[in-house]
Amino acid sequence: MSEDDRAAAALVVLEATGCSRPSTLEQTMTEQDQLTTVGQLPNRTNPESLLPAVLTRLVWLLWVATLGVLGVRLWTDGTWGISGVVAVDGLTVVMWTVVTFFSGIVHSYSRRYMAGQQQIERFFAGVFGFTLVVMVLVAADHIALFAVAWLAMGLTMAELIGHVQEWPQAQAAAGLARRYFLASGGLLTVALATLWVSTGATSISGIAAAADTVPFTPWLVAAGALLGAAMIQSALVPFQTWLLASMTAPTPASALMHAGFVNAGGVLLVRFAPVISVDARFMLLVVVVGAISALSGKFLKSVQPDIKSQLGCSTVGQMGFMIMQAGLGFFGAAITHLILHGFYKAYQFLSAGDGVTQTSPTKTKHKPRSLSAIGFLVTVLTAVVGGILFGVLTGKGLSVDSGLLLALLVVLTTLHATRNALAQTSVSAATRYGLIPLVFLPAIAVYAGAYTAIAGIMKGIPIVAAPAELTAVHGVVAVAFAIAYVVIETGLYQRSQRLYVALLNATQPPSETILTSTEEYNEY
C-alpha cells in the first residue's frame, strides 16, 4: 500500500470514529510517524526568559572583576578586607578567579542545554546563587559567616541535584545529599565552637594565631571534626555515596559540582592549616585518609558502565590526592591540584556526550592491557626524568622529606593521565611508547609551573608549605601507590571476579536514587 493509500485509510478511520479531520495529509503522517522521546521536551510555548542571559553576563563581569583584583594582589602583595569579618588574601583571590570562570562556563553552556525548560529560571538562580555563596565562603574570616556560607553552599547544591522535580529519584538523591551536607555542617560547627571556646577568637585568622595554645583534647576534637567535614564535602571514601547518587542532576550542575563544590574540603583544610598541622601524627592520618580514597577511586572507576559514574569515581580518587597533598604539608599543592582537576573535570562533564559511542557485540573478548618490557622501561625512565624535572622546577622532592612523596604522586597521576590519553589514539604501540615522554614531560612542567605560581600568589596566608619528615607510613603509602599503578596499567585487577563484585557493590547508590527504567522518566 502506498503512502497516499495509508493516509486516505487513516482519514476514513478518523471520520468513522468522530475525530476531527486534520487540515493536511502531512499532519496526519507526521503524527503517525512520531517517535517516543525519552526525557522532557522543550516547552516552546513559554516566552524566552531574560534571566539566564542577564546572570550569564553578570557572572562573566564578576570574573573580569576578579582578574582585576588578582592583578592588584600581584602588584601590591597585600591583604584587604574588614578585620575579623572578611579577608581578601591570596587564597581568596585565586579561588574567586577560578570559581567565577567555571561558573561562567557553566552559565554559558546551560543557556542552550536548559533552553525551553519550565524551571530554567530556578536553575540559573541556583547556579548563580551557588557562585556567590562560594565567593563569600573563601573570603569569610568570621567563623559564623564561614559556617553559614558552608551550610548554604551544601543546601544550594542539594537543590541543583534535585532540580528535576518530576523525578522521584532526583528528589531522593537531593534528600540524601542534603543529609550528608547537614552532617558536614554539624561537624564544622562543632570544630568552630570548640576552637572559639579554647582560644576566645571569633575569626579564622585569630584562631590560626592561637592554634598551638589549644589543649590537646579540644584540639583533637576540633581537628577531627574539620577532617570529617572535609571528607564528607569532598566525597571521600566512605562518604562517596551522595556523589554517586547525584547523577540525576543536570549535566551543567554536575560539572559545577565536580569542578567546584567537592573542592571545598581542600579549601577548608588550607584555611585551618595552622590547626591540623599542630600534631605530625594527625597529618599522617590525613595522608592515610586521602590515600585510601585516592586508591579506591581508581579501582571503583573501573567497574562503572556509564560516563558520568566513571567521572564521579574519578573525582573520589582525585579528591583523595588533594587531601593527601594537604596531609603532606603542601597546602599550595593541594590548591593547585583542585584547580587543575576542576578544569579537567568541567571539560569532561560538559563533553560527556562525546564519550557515548554505539558499538556492536563481537566474539572477541576484551583483553586487559599490559606493559611490555620496552613499555615498562620507557615508562620507568620517563617517570624518573619527570620526577627530577618537577623537583628542579619547584624545589620539592630534592630533600629527604614528604616532598619526595609529593613528587611521586604528581608523577604517577600525570603519567596515568598521559597513558589514558594516548590509549584513545589509533597509533601503534611502538609509536605510543615514543609519545609518552613527549606528552608527559610538558604536562609535568605545566603542573610545576602552576604550582609555583599559585603558591606565590598564596604567599602571606599562615601556612602554604610545611614539609614533614618521612616516616614508615609514608613509605607504605608510596609502595601501595606504585603497586596500584602497576596493577591498573597491566590489567591484573580484572582477573578477580570477587574484586569486581566488591567494587561494584561499593559504588551502588541507594536504589531509590537510580533511574532503572526509561518508563520512569519518559513523560510521553
Note the pLDDT tens digit of each residue in 347-381.
777 876 665 555 555 544 444 445 566 767 877 88
Q: In whole numbers, what is the pLDDT of the chain averaged over residues?
A: 80
As a whole number of angstroms, the distance between CA 262 and CA 242 comes to: 11
Beta bridge partners of 140: 86
**pLDDT score of 214 more than 80:** yes
Distances (CA, A) of 513 to 503, 510, 520: 19, 6, 12
List the helix and strand counts (H, then E) for the chain.
Answer: 21, 2
Q: Whose CA is closest to 490, among 317, 314, 372? A: 372
pLDDT at residue 166, as a whole number: 80
As a whole number of angstroms, the distance between CA 452 and CA 446 comes to: 10
- Whether the bond between 218 and the residue before it is cis, its omega within 30 degrees of 0, is no
pLDDT at residue 350, as a whole number: 80
**pLDDT score of 425 more than 90:** no
Name the amino acid, one letter, at 380: V
**Secondary structure class of 180 (helix, strand, coil):** helix
As a whole number of angstroms, the distance between CA 192 and CA 231 comes to: 16
pLDDT at residue 375, as a whole number: 67
Q: What is the mean pLDDT of residues 433-438?
A: 81
- Percentage of residues in the chain with pLDDT exceeding 70? 83
DSSP 368: P
Q: Whose CA is closest to 314, among 277, 357, 347? A: 347
Residue 179 — very low, low, confident or very high, per pLDDT cuts 50/70/90? very high
As a whole number of angstroms, the distance between CA 95 and CA 134 comes to: 9
Q: What is the mean pLDDT of residues 50-54?
A: 88
**Residue 327 burial class via C-beta count within 10 angstroms: exposed 0-12, middle 13-18, buried 19 and up:** buried
pLDDT at residue 371, as a whole number: 53
- Percentage of residues in the chain with pLDDT exceeding 90? 29
**Secondary structure class of 502 (helix, strand, coil):** helix
pLDDT at residue 335, as a whole number: 92
Helix (H) or strand (E) holding 337: helix 331-350
**pLDDT score of 343 more than 70:** yes
Domain layout of the chain by residue ranges: 51-351, 373-505
Higher-confidence residue of 307 and 368: namely: 307
